[in-house]
Each structure stands twice: as structure tokens, then as C-alpha cells.
A and B are shown apart, each in its own frame.
Chain A
Amino acid sequence: MTTSDVQLMLDVKAGDEASFDLLLRRYRTPLVNFLYRMVRDSATAEDLAQEVFLRVYRARKQYSPSAKFTTWLFRIATNLALNSIRDNRHRRMESSLDAPLDEEESAPRELPSGDMRIDEHLMERDRCDFIRRAIGALPEKQRVAVLLHKYEEMDYGEIARILECSESALKSLLFRAYETLRVQLAPLIAQPARPGAGEGRP
């Protein structure tokens, strides 16, 4: 029987280091993926994931199981990711005062419009990169909502607690995010990569 996250965290609080290793093994991949999709840089994503675990470890003595462990974990991760994105944006703005930006930095990459042949674009970028860019182009809160809903399969209540909004507001946020992605990724939707694709679930 799998030990629950809360029990593992209570064991860590009692001084059991092995339980911390179990939590680490359980959540390092989801966290790195979530953070990578947020910041779109693997080195930064790993640094942030380490910082999340470090904060959990530091707070082990004060831990009380008042909420789901994943809510706490992903709230820390979300805050760190948003701070990192803002710091990075701020640094880029500062550097732009001194040095001219190259074309890559100065203008956001255009996603292909529906009337363009998808083959032309996929010659340069594969579908995954295309999808990552579309997710990365979403406003921050919408991006967090989609990542937690689609990839972490969290329920609405948990995502709403992480984003500190109501469930009703979250549903609107998710609809707007998926609507944007539906338009941006229309060429890929029209041309599925795998036969039989089209019955996706979040």
C-alpha cells in the first residue's frame, strides 16, 4: 500500500529522511515538467524545482496537514516560477537599455495562422516545440491553470486554491486559455500526429 503524501511529510517532520527521498522521487518529474513548461528553460526549471524541495525540507518542522500536500507543493512552485518569469522579464528590459536585442528576443515568434501550410512551419520546428510555444504564450495565470488541469490532472478546487481564486473564476480562466490554444494550435488540430487522435482527455 502506498503511503500518503501527508503521512510521508509527517514522517519527515519526525526526522525520517527516507520519507523525504520518497516524496522527492514521487514529485521531482512532475515538478520539473511543470516548471519547464512555465519558464521554458531546463536549467532554470531544475534550479526552481530544487528550490521547491529545499523549501519543503526547511518547513518540515512547521508542517501541519491542513491542505493537500500537492496544493502546498505546487503553490510554492507556482510562486517561484512567476517570480522567475518576472525577474527575467525585468532583466531583459534592463539589458535592452544598453544593448540592442537580436531579432529572436525583440519580437515574439509568430505562430502560423490557419491559412498557412503547416508543413512549411514544421520543417523548422517540430510539433512539440510549436505546442510549447503556444502554452508559453498564454498569460501566466492561464498557463498555470492549463498545466495543472491538463498535465497534473488536479481538480478545480485544488487549482483554485493554488491560484487563490474561486472555482467559478477558474472555469472562466480555463475556458479562455483553451479557446486561445484552440485557435493558436488549429493547424495541429486539423492535422493530428497520430491516427485516431481526437478523443483527448485533460
Chain B
Amino acid sequence: MMKCEEVSKELIAYLDRRANSAERRDVEEHLLVCESCRARAVEFRKLWSVLEEVPVEEPSFGFDARLRQRIAAEPKRRWFQWFVPHPRLAFSIALLIALSVLVAKLPQPKSGSNLATVQAEDDQFQMIEHLGVLENYDMLSRSEVLAEVPPAAAPQTDQQTQEPDDGGGSL
């Protein structure tokens, strides 16, 4: 048989007729032999009647109107919010994408050694480009500019071939 402590857990469900048949039987068996629990059960029923004495409070006259006013003051959702339900998140993602594109388009920084290499390659390319002209003896000998150079200043012939790009004037 159930003890008083065990019955206390099921007593309310028994009194409000929500206990199942097994629980009802257990409680009824206990109430038959326990006077204090029986008295408590009677008092609980009386208590529920007492609690019913509290009148129902009606909402004030302007309750609905005030609620309607508050609902009308709610910010409306705009059409794009259906596509972008979380504007802050969407803005963050857009900003991240824009920054990524910007960083990718920036020119890559060059180091000092790289710059020197590029300059040297450029000089070499220009020299190769004009090499045909400088090695053409006929063209150089017909040049009016070189003809004005005094013969005394002309260097040795073997030097001319060795240094074709210094503009030497004995040609």
C-alpha cells in the first residue's frame, strides 16, 4: 500500500479526476485507512471552492484599441526583406566579398631585388633591339651626326667593334 508521501503526489490528480485507473485505485486504498489524508482531501476540495470566489477581471475598455495602435506602429517589412531576412548578415557578407575582390585586384608589392632585375632586363632588351643598327658599318659611316665628329677624337678601330654602343666618332 502507498505511504502518505507517495499519495501526496497523486492526490491532486485523483481529486481533479485526471489520475489513471491504477493511480485512482492506489489512492482510494490509502484514503480508506488514512484519516489525515482523507481529511486533507476534503479540505482540498473546499479550498478549490474558495479559490473560485476570486472574480474574473475584465480587460479595460480601450485594451483592443491600444493593442491595434501598437501593432500599427510596428515597422513594416519591405519587399527586399523577403530575400534578405537578416540585413546585418547580408551586409557583412557583401562587405567581405567586396574586400576580397579589392585585395585581389591590387598590384602585388615588388621587392628591391626584383626591381633591379627588371631594370637590367629592360636595358639588355634595348641594347639587343639596337644591335643591328650599331653593327651596320655602312649605316654608321653615312650618319651625318657622326661625320661631324673630329677625326682626332676617333678611337681605334678594334675599340669601335668592341664598344659599338658608346657613340664613338672615328667612323
Contact = CB atoms under 8 A, between A and B. Distances in A.
A45 B12 CA distance: 29
A200 B13 contact: no
A124 to B, nearest CB: 17
Contacts of A100: none
A168 B19 CA distance: 12
A139 interface: no
B57 A150 contact: no
Nearest to B67: A50
Contact of A198 (B8, B9, B45, B74): B45
Interface stretch (A67-75, A84-92, A109-117, A182-190): A182-190
Given A50-B70, A53-B67, A58-B74, A185 B57 contact: no
B60 A182 contact: no
Contacts of B18: 155-156
Given A53-B67, A58-B74, A192-B49, A201 B11 contact: no
Interface string A73-85: 0000000000000
B46 A200 contact: yes
Contacts of B49: 192, 194, 197-200
B71 interface: yes
A171 to B, nearest CB: 5
Given A24-B64, A50-B67, A58-B74, A197 B50 contact: yes
Nearest to A171: B9
A46 B60 contact: yes
A59 to B, nearest CB: 12
A193 interface: yes
Interface of A: 21, 24, 28-29, 32-33, 36-37, 42, 45-46, 49-50, 53-54, 57-58, 127-128, 131-132, 135, 149-151, 155-156, 168, 171-172, 174-175, 178-179, 181-182, 185, 188-189, 192-194, 197-202
